[in-house]
A and B are shown apart, each in its own frame.
Chain A
Amino acid sequence: MSVMDELAALGVRALRTLRGLGHSAFFFAELLRNVPLALRRFYLVVAQIHAIGNYSLIIIVASGLAVGFVLGLQGYYTLTRYGAAESLGLLVALSLVRELGPVVTGLLFAGRAGTSLTAEIGLMKAGEQLAAMEMMAIDPKQRVFAPRFIGGLIAMPLLAAMFSAVGIFGGYVVGVLMIGIDSGQFWSQMQNGVDVFDDVGNGMVKSVVFGIACTFVALYQGYEATATPEGVAQATTRTVVISSLSVLLLDFVLTAVMFSTPR
């Protein structure tokens, strides 16, 4: 009988996973349905952009600068072996705009903004604030969730763009000001190799997708959190793990779709 038990346990697990997926899909649909309603109260969205975007600014800018410095140094060591040190600008800009900008911003965004969203909503749930809103015939999806979703959606691409821009500046500081690569070569190689739509545009598309994924995961985990201190703590942890993994996975899929076809 133990084989049958094992099979049944597997079935239960599969059904639970499917139910969870279906539930989150419903939640996502509800969220999207509430987006136009939330846009009518735009001051709520503005407050969320402030909480999500402005407060993430320092960590994003500092990380972008650090990543740019490291890319400049490491890229120079490798490129100079092949006598192509002037291509440093191209290397820094392409890796930032295509990959590192959206991905690292997504990971930091999950850690900085996603956790605070989950904890906030989890505590709102624990304090029965969401239930109280429903009692007053206010839909919490419209009042609490949708503005946070839109805020994350708007803040993430802007943060990613700032990350890339600051990173390129960091690469410039190391490559041109410290190592002494010709400034004109640095910029012209970059401008010849980076395409506005194929590289910058696709990078922006990536960051929008990551913004949707991270904000949605954070909101869903907060919504589903068990209304206890441990429950909120676990939900916050799950937010970071799930958003980081989904950013990396989505990045692979998007890169395969966007950049693997020969031009």
Chain B
Amino acid sequence: MSKKAIETLVGVFVLFGFVAIGYLALKAANLTSFAIGETYMVSAKFDNIGGLKVRSPVRSAGVTVGRVKEITFDNHTFQGVVTMELEAKFQFPKDTSAKILTAGLLGDQYIGLEPGGDDKNLASGDTIKMTQSAVVLESLIGQALYNKAAEGSEGKK
């Protein structure tokens, strides 16, 4: 085989390889949905963040508007501090409230933003005042059992 033919075949091989990498990155992974646009940071304090992780989505009305950037612990108030990176094209009023919600019954947890009615919008570095913690399944079940037991003992009287 001539040198030219070998070079062409290798070129085809390498091209196939790069097409495969591109296919994996664009079609199989989430490169297209990456937040490349401008963002701003907002933080919120929660009594319990549950299973929230860095890079968990932040959603409002079900639409992903940002991602969790950082999770730390406030040593004065003993609360979890969640810093969110929101896309700059989505603006929210100052009195927006944040909840930690679960996708499905046992799915991943995400932050849901509920817009308020303030005229001013959240700016970078602001803190969301109204928050609602994650629902911990164990305490929910514990509470249900406790209520059931209380009902039972009342019934005996």
List residues of chain A with CB under 8 Å of any chain B CB: 43, 46-47, 49-50, 53-54, 57, 93, 97, 154-155, 157-159, 161-162, 164-166, 168, 187, 190-192, 194-196, 199-200, 204, 262-263
The residue on B at minimum CB distance from A165 is B20
Instruction: Report B1-45 residues with CB < 8 Å from chain A CB.
Output: 3, 6-7, 9-10, 12-14, 16-21, 23-25, 27-34
- Are A158 and B30 also in contact (CB < 8 A) when A46-B10, A262-B53 are? no
Which residue from A49, A157, A190 sits with its C-beta under 8 Å from B13? A49
Chain B residues, CB < 8 A from A162: 16-17, 20
Q: Is the CB of A263 within 8 A of B14?
A: no
Which residue from A47, A53, A157, A190 sits with its C-beta under 8 Å from B28? A190
- Are A50 and B53 also in contact (CB < 8 A) when A196-B29, A200-B25 are? no
Q: Is the CB of B10 within 8 A of A50?
A: yes
Which residue from A43, A54, A157, A196 sits with its C-beta under 8 Å from B25? A196
How distant is A223 from chain B, measured CB to nearest CB, in Å?
Answer: 25
- Are A168 and B13 also in contact (CB < 8 A) when A43-B3, A191-B33, A263-B54 are? no
Q: Is the CB of A161 within 8 A of B3?
A: no
Which residue from B19, B27, B31 sits with its C-beta under 8 Å from A187? B27
A162 to B15: give the CA distance in the assembly, Å: 11
A154 to B32: give the CA distance in the assembly, Å: 26
Q: Is the CB of A196 within 8 A of B6?
A: no
List residues of chain B with CB under 8 Å of any chain A CB: 3, 6-7, 9-10, 12-14, 16-21, 23-25, 27-34, 53-55
Having A49-B13, A199-B29, one finds 18 other A-B pairs with CB under 8 Å, namely A47-B6, A50-B6, A53-B13, A53-B17, A93-B29, A97-B24, A158-B20, A164-B28, A187-B27, A191-B32, A191-B33, A192-B30, A195-B30, A200-B24, A200-B28, A200-B29, A204-B21, A263-B53
Chain A residues, CB < 8 A from B27: 168, 187, 191
- Are A97 and B28 also in contact (CB < 8 A) when A47-B6, A164-B20 are? yes
- Are A93 and B3 also in contact (CB < 8 A) when A50-B13, A54-B10, A158-B20 are? no
Q: Is the CB of A93 within 8 A of B28?
A: yes
Chain B residues, CB < 8 A from A196: 25, 29-31, 34
A162 to B33: give the CA distance in the assembly, Å: 23
Q: Is the CB of B28 within 8 A of A191?
A: yes
A178 to B23: give the CA distance in the assembly, Å: 22
How distant is B150 from chain A, measured CB to nearest CB, in Å?
Answer: 35
Chain B residues, CB < 8 A from A200: 21, 24-25, 28-29
Q: Is the CB of A49 within 8 A of B29?
A: no
Chain A residues, CB < 8 A from B33: 191
Closest 6 pairs (CB-CB, A-B):
A158-B17, A165-B20, A161-B20, A194-B29, A162-B20, A196-B29
